[in-house]
Chains A and B, each alone.
Chain A
Amino acid sequence: MTTASPPAPAAPRAAVVQPGRAGLGRAIVSEWTKARSVRSTWIAVAIVVMAGVGLSALVSNIEAGRWSTLGVADRAQFDPVRFSQTGEFISQFVVGVLGALVVTSEYATGSVRTTLAGMPRRMNVLGSKAVVAAVVVFLVSEVTAFVSFFVGQAILTAHGGRTLPVGSSIVTQIRSPVIPVETIGGVGALRAVFLCGIYLTLLALIALGIGLIVRHTAAAISLYVGVLLVIPLIIQILPSHISDGIEKYLPSNLGLAMIVVTTRKTDFAGVLLSPWAAVALLAVYAVVVGAVGAWFLTRRDA
């Protein structure tokens, strides 16, 4: 239409020149400030710790009392490591909520626009959120897993349990008059406890990726719970010749493969992947979901 006004003479503003550009490092510092400054993070941390240690104590206590009454089959499956990691069942949902919220809480409030305006290279936003969520969940889960392990074994020991000799067979365990106790140096024990934390960390990243895809807290958590709980139930209903081929690839069973000590046990042989294959496959799931999330984050309008 008509002409615009000429630009007014600009008063000189002191321009502070900062070298570099807004990148991943700054984004991580910012994300950590955001994560530590909301209650939900600390509530999640508290639940993981309490569920982990508390359920380890509870289940180890119950199982210790049952040893003398157990039959051969139950004695063969007696797994002092797994009893100490029972809290993982609850924690997997808690870390899922934590991972999803890192993304979806920003979409719920609209603050994601501030975040993306500050970080136009959006992969830095994804990277910083993934790093902060993974580090928090990893540290808390590992500490919890190890404390739970030692609490569990201490309780079994207090009930008169004892460590079986190194290299004991499944028969030795079944015939043992005292409750078997595991040491962290025992076969598979360190791996099982350590991978419990890895399992929860990978789950948190999968939930974060789901959050990027659906952008909505309730939807993301529903999907996540669906993958962990509902899909296994549906698969179980299928005829066994179909379900047998699928079950071991489900995230929940990958988790089981990571934290079960199979060396002395027979019931899981062939049903589960090996622990490290399970880690690798779950990591692939996390990368795939994360890549889809990244595609949506970088392509879609904020």
Chain B
Amino acid sequence: MIKAVALTKSYGRTRAVDDLSFEVHDGVVTGFLGPNGSGKSTTMRMILGLDRPQAGTVTLDDRTYHDLAWPLREVGAVLEAKAVHPGRSARNHLLGVAQSNAIPKGRVDEVLDLVGLAGVADRRVGKFSLGMGQRLGIATALLGDPGVLLFDEPINGLDPEGILWVRNLLKSLAAEGRTIFVSSHLMSEMALTATDLVVIGRGRLIADTTVREFISSNTEPTVLVRAPEDARLSDLLVSLGASVAPGGEGGLLVTRITPAQIGEAALGAGIALHELSPQLASLEEVFMDLTSDTVDYHGGGGTGAGP
């Protein structure tokens, strides 16, 4: 289990991570979600003892990273793709890392097989594609067969096949009882891989929950209704305490009322319904709503925070 308590880290006057507390549990994939620049990478570096927090602590099964006798046998991390000397072969890179933590040499070939790089093991890493570099990073993380794995944006630069491979790998690693902590700025990706979620924006905790709860607690059940007499239906529903908004193409988006109540009210008033469908808010929308005021860098257009 990873436990962060009141982690705080500033770079100059910028608070990269601000009083951040969360827990990452064993046996599930926990997504670490936030817009770009929200402090995810900084947090991961603090977990690994690479960056020093100004305040707060982060522990792995109640020990700090510095206390681990053989860190790579307990924690594996994929921080950036191709963080390897371009002139070194994949095999020599892995061998050097393995030797530092007394990991048997045979494990190098095992992880090369596991990530599908056995055929290019002796090729210089500089010739690797981004996807191959990402696989080498994952092989490096898996070398010590660690119980805790951190992945910082692992699907960046991967082709669809690679993305599927990473998803399945993360799930199978979690199924083996490992603690898996994966950062991403893509909510949809997390919805497919993660069970638990830690959501941050501008270094602050927005949610520490499960994917399911995150969606249900942050979206209001909405029903799309289409009726020829939409004006009369709208008045009727408002009189019953519902909120009604135009839903485009003549439909109405209705909240604070169940589909059953809408159907019965329409029947009672003799209004024909052409459509009555509960709407599932997209995860992307929920995420964007929650983090929109915490995004540091908006794209062009009218939503920017000032000039």
Binding site for B on A (CB under 8 A): 1-13, 15-16, 18, 20-22, 26-27, 29-31, 33-34, 37-40, 105-106, 109-111, 113-121, 301-302
Contact = CB atoms under 8 A, between A and B. Distances in A.
B100 A16 contact: no
B240 interface: no
A36 to B, nearest CB: 8
A21 B69 contact: yes
B36 interface: no
Interface in B55-102: 65-66, 68-73, 75, 77, 79-80, 82-89, 92-93, 95-97, 99-102
B70 A302 contact: no
Interface stretch (B21-29, B228-236, B266-274): B21-29
Given A9-B27, A111-B85, A22 B50 contact: no
B50 A113 contact: yes
Given A34-B85, A111-B84, A118 B72 contact: yes
Q: Which 5 A-B pairs have the closest CB atoms?
A: A8-B27, A110-B83, A10-B177, A37-B92, A21-B69
Query: SS class of chain A's interface: helix, strand, loop or mixed?
Result: loop
Given A118-B72, A302-B50, 16 more contacts: A1-B207, A9-B27, A11-B27, A11-B177, A16-B145, A18-B73, A22-B100, A29-B100, A33-B92, A113-B83, A116-B50, A117-B49, A117-B50, A120-B65, A120-B66, A301-B51
A31 B178 CA distance: 30
B14 to A, nearest CB: 14
B101 A118 contact: yes
22 contacts: A2-B214, A2-B217, A5-B28, A5-B195, A5-B196, A7-B25, A7-B26, A8-B28, A10-B177, A22-B100, A26-B101, A26-B102, A33-B99, A37-B92, A106-B85, A109-B82, A110-B83, A111-B85, A113-B79, A116-B50, A117-B75, A119-B100
A105 B86 CA distance: 10
B209 A1 contact: yes
A116 B49 CA distance: 8
Contacts of B201: none
Interface string B183-212: 000000000000110000000011111100
A38 B51 contact: no
How big is the B interface, by class?
A: 35 or more
Nearest to B1: A7
B34 interface: no
Nearest to B137: A114
Nearest to A34: B96
B154 interface: no
B80 A22 contact: no
A298 B254 CA distance: 59
B293 interface: no
B88 A22 contact: no
B39 interface: no
B216 to A, nearest CB: 10
Contacts of A26: 99-102
Contacts of A4: 23, 25, 196, 208-210
B45 interface: yes
Contacts of B79: 110, 113
B35 interface: no
B177 A3 contact: no
A38 B85 contact: yes
A18 B85 CA distance: 29
B264 interface: no
